[in-house]
Amino acid sequence: MTTRTFTGQAAAPGIASGPAVVYDPGIAPGAPGGEPAEELARLNAAIARVDTTIAAYEQRLRNQGKREEAEIFAAHRVLLRDPALRDRAAALVVEAGRPAADAFSTAAEEQASELEQLDHVYLSARAADIRDVARQVRHVLTGSRGLVEQLTTPAVVIARELGPSELMNAPRSLLQGFALAAGGLTSHTCILARGLGIPAVVGLGDAILHAAASARIVALDGDTGTLTLDPTAALLAQVQARQRDLKTRAATLRSAPRGPVHTRDGRRVRLLANVATPAEAHAARAWGAEGIGLLRTELLFLERPDLPDEAEQLALYHAIAAELPGLPITVRTLDVGGDKHLPALPLPAEANPFLGWRGIRIGLSRPEILLPQLRALLRAGAEADIRILLPMITSVAELRQVRALLDEARRQLVAAGQRHCATVQIGVMIEVPAAALNAEALARDADFFSIGTNDLTQYTLACDRGNSQVAELYQPLDPAVLRLIAMACAAAHRHGRPVTLCGELGGAPGVTALLIGLGIDELSCAPAALAAVRAAVQATDSARARAIAEQALAAESAAQVRALLPTVA
């Protein structure tokens, strides 16, 4: 057999090898349709069953502290319950006499195709989610098991596309990794793969589907973005040795002692967690988090027709603080707009929603939304170390407007006789270039900075992180992004303000030394990433980290920066 290597995008880290399963979800034939009433009953039962399954996926991920991955399935449940989708499927059953499986698949495909035609990257990307949901309903109605039917032994799956539900349903012991002809790094499938630790490569092109059909064994490298068909015996032995080393390292990390973390030369680096629920906060504590660096509050507002009241918000903050008694809890105020929408707050149609009404801009223009949250935070601060983090800040004027609202919230609590904290730290997200460029002024008024590398990258590089067409341009290690981070850190430190990094880079141990060298004081990441980041901090020498940072800031490209990074053992 001839050895051939295909190169795509490194979507989820890790190494995998084994037989190749070329998977085509296709359309399983449905049973002939019965009477419309019978078909509608079957359809409703199938939807209910899929909803239960997806809810179980969501809860399992939340219990594991995987907030971002869980929200994928929360969104899938919203799609599944979409009245327009269900009404269209019902009409096809009743008016056209279509079987339930065909009717739902057709209705979903119509909706997905409409979204793909829209000049809106986020909505177009939702088409893949609709198709994934539709496949699950069809599997129930036809008795098909999808990918699971083909995964009878440990293998690497090769397909044009995979849905998040197919990943969750596949036994982890059998799904060694996957390679896709299509897809982008920010797809829900890739986000889930990273959260589940499934090695993945995407964007290989359709030629891989034909080529892999005749391959006996494949080797996938999710770190370099390569898929090798029929590797030589020597290469296969190297791959398998790396797999064993990774498993040994993972076991070592899980059993590593907790406690304060220092670099090899004694520099203190605080490790915090990004969470959205009490279950995730519990996982954070179990993994040794020294506090919460980012509590996302959007989940409390999503998937409900009304806004949560002050008491509901206070209950969430108490529950989170109870999981980490005595430790700091940094709460980001409501951050919606862009790709996050609230049923209770219809957002206007905008040509560029990521550049429009989102983040703190909504809170400042709708104080009836922000004030209850500020009151709840002040009340929670009477019993816990609560800190407030403001999203999408671009100027000192916005920060001062929030401080004025905070004073108003205090006056309201005093008038109501409610117990609350006298003072609270207020920080700002550095996630747009203007904030980094205004860092000197912001540092005089803010108590701390938190750098959000995901948005900072897309705004700096004018590259929508959800758009697969420009996925190769989305480079968090681009020197331009790093220079803004260094600028913000330097300004903060001149005023004695600590800097946390809470974007995706915070959970990447290979980048830890660079971040420390740039001046980051605290790293906040998903709970499950804490052990690997802890080990990376402990392996870092501050002087070497600064040298890496200096070279990175002088680099010309993200590729040059990556070449500077130390290999994580």
| Catalytic site positions | 188, 502
Q: Residue 180 half-sphere exposure, CB side, CA atoms within 13 Å?
A: 22
Residues 6+ positions from 513 with CB-CB distance below 8 Å = 536, 539, 540, 544, 545, 548, 565, 566
What distance in Å separates the CA atoms of residue 145 and residue 172, rounded to the nearest whole number? 16
- CA 356 to centroid of chain Cα atoms: 22
Q: Do 273 and 524 touch, CB atoms closer than 8 A?
A: yes
Burial (CB count within 10 angstroms: exposed 0-12, middle 13-18, buried 19+), residue 495:
middle
Q: Helix 36-63 to helix 278-286 angle, to the nearest 10 degrees? A: 40
For residues 391-427, b (16+ Cβ closer than 10 Å) or e, as one string? bbbbebebbebbeebbeebbebbeeeeeebbeebbbb
Q: Which amino acid, 264?
A: R
Cα dist. 190→13, 186, 195, 483 in Å?
A: 10, 6, 9, 28
What distance in Å separates the CA atoms of residue 326 and residue 385, rounded to the nearest whole number? 7
Q: Do 460 and 484 touch, CB atoms closer than 8 A?
A: yes
359: alpha, beta or left? (left if phi > 0; alpha if psi -120 to 50)? left
Q: Do 288 and 259 touch, CB atoms closer than 8 A?
A: yes
Neighbours of 81 (CB within 10 A): 13
> What are the tokens at 23?
């998977």
For residues 244-259, b (16+ Cβ closer than 10 Å) or e, as one string? eeeeeeeeebeeeeee
End-to-end CA distance of the chain: 33
The candidate with the shortest Cα–Cα distance to 443, out of 496, 403, 390, 404, is 496
Cα dist. 12→72, 191, 273, 292, 559 in Å?
A: 17, 8, 20, 25, 18
What distance in Å separates the CA atoms of residue 562 and residue 274, rounded to the nearest whole number? 25
The candidate with the shortest Cα–Cα distance to 148, out of 131, 133, 168, 164, is 168
Q: Which amino acid, 359?
A: G
